[in-house]
């Protein structure tokens, strides 16, 4: 049954990308998470490592230089003009940088409207080789989490490829900086990075002298709800803010998504519960309410008694997005301090 639930979750997110314990996902999304995938473990490892009190700036943006150099080393020496991308988050980044690809992924997750006329090349995991070949791209840009899958799908096709991480908060900054640097879009890149860095500084000051809550993160699948670790996109945002995710500290889960053990959850008793639910991608808010009604254990939790259970907007928290990350951080911080 557990395996079935996990597979259901993966299917749900395959639209975007980054999901589950170690499977490939869609590309772009995160339940979600996350969306693109296996690199959930990498996401956790690349979580915030900056010491408390660090003030970010364009000169100290928190992006690991070695990781940036490694990412840039994949790109061809001559900057291409004909690019196809299989990743929703990377497609969004290209749009922000003012770069128009000649092919974008087919996905239920949002592609910039300016790219409506750009040919769809198929799913993030299995692009249509006939379409890709006809477009004659000079570079294929994909999610690192889908590297092995895409390499296998593209066997026999002579094409330059570059893979970037898209699953966590830190992944977004790293990959966006890699693209902005490589394509020499410094102005566009710095404008977006500055907003994100300012938000990080603002939230760090807001947290000074305050005790952050313990948090449980949940995602609804078509069949049930699961708990999310810091390896998920939402988990990486909570980790960035410095809050205690009980999935890691108390429940000791090792996978990105794990079945909920209510006995353990009651023992952990989180201060805040954040629920990522979407009727389009999994369980709806109504389904969560029914879950609470049929299991009295939920009413024993501090989060329930204090009205600290929040249903998150899938469009903001369900897909890793360079455009939405500033808002996502700010919204979660409000839930912590309200």
How many domains does the structure of the chain reveal? 2
Please check whether residues 128 and 228 belong to one and the same domain.
no
Please check whether residues 300 and 224 belong to one and the same domain.
yes
Determine contact, residues 170/49, Cβ cutoff 8 Å. Answer: no
Please check whether residues 187 and 220 belong to one and the same domain.
no
275: left (phi over 0), alpha (psi -120 to 50) or beta: beta
Domain extent, residue 97, equals 65-196
Give CA–CA dist 162/90, Å, rounded: 11
Please check whether residues 192 and 223 belong to one and the same domain.
no
CATH number for the domain including 257? 3.40.50.1980
Determine contact, residues 203/197, Cβ cutoff 8 Å. Answer: no
Residue pLDDT, tens place only, 208-262? 888 899 999 999 877 788 999 999 999 999 999 999 999 999 999 989 899 999 9
325: nearest Cα among 210, 193, 145, 218: 193
Distance of CA 320 to the CA centre of its chain: 3
User: Is residue 38 over pLDDT 80?
Assistant: no
205 falls within a domain: no
Give Cβ neighbours of residue 64 (< 8 Å, ≥ 6 apart).
Answer: 46, 174
Q: Which of 18-27, 253-262, 307-316, 321-330 has the highest mean pLDDT?
A: 321-330
Please check whether residues 72 and 189 belong to one and the same domain.
yes
134 falls within a domain: yes
Residue matched to tokens 């092919």: 103
Please check whether residues 269 and 319 belong to one and the same domain.
yes
User: Considering the entire predicted model, what is its pTM?
Assistant: 0.83
Residue pLDDT, tens place only, 132-172? 999 999 999 999 999 999 999 998 888 999 999 999 999 99
Give Cβ neighbours of residue 247 (< 8 Å, ≥ 6 apart).
Answer: 216, 217, 227, 228, 229, 230, 235, 253, 258
Tabulate helix, strand, coil % of the chain (nearest 5): 45, 15, 40
């Amino acid at each position: 049954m557990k395996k079935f639930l996990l597979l259901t979750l993966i299917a749900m997110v395959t639209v975007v990308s980054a999901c589950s314990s170690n499977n490939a996902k869609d590309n772009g999304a995160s339940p979600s998470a996350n969306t693109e995938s296996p690199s959930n473990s990498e996401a956790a490892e690349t979580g915030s490592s900056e010491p408390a009190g660090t003030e970010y700036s364009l000169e100290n943006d928190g992006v690991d230089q070695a990781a940036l150099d490694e990412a840039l080393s994949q790109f061809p020496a001559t900057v291409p003009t004909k690019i196809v991308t299989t990743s929703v988050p990377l497609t969004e980044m290209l749009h922000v940088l003012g770069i128009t690809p000649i092919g974008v992924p087919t996905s239920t997750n949002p592609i910039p409207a300016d790219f409506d006329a750009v040919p769809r090349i198929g799913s993030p995991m299995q692009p249509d080789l006939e379409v890709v070949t006809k477009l004659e791209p000079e570079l294929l840009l994909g999610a690192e989490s889908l590297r092995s899958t895409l390499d296998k799908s593209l066997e026999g096709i002579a094409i330059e490829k570059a893979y970037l991480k898209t699953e966590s908060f830190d992944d977004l900054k790293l990959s966006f900086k890699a693209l902005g640097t490589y394509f020499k879009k410094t102005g566009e890149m710095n404008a977006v990075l500055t907003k994100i860095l300012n938000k990080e500084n603002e939230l760090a000051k807001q947290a000074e002298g305050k005790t952050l809550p313990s948090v449980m993160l949940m995602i609804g699948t078509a069949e049930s709800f699961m708990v999310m670790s810091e390896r998920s996109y939402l988990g990486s945002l909570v980790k960035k803010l410095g809050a205690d995710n009980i999935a890691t500290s108390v429940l000791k889960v090792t996978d990105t998504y794990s079945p909920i053990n209510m006995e353990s959850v009651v023992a952990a008793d989180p201060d805040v519960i954040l629920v990522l639910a979407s009727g389009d991608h999994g369980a709806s808010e109504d389904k969560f309410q029914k879950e609470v009604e049929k299991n009295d254990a939920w009413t024993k939790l501090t989060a329930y008694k204090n009205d600290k259970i929040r249903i998150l907007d899938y469009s903001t928290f369900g897909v890793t997005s360079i455009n939405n990350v500033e808002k996502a951080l700010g919204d979660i911080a409000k839930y912590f301090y309200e």
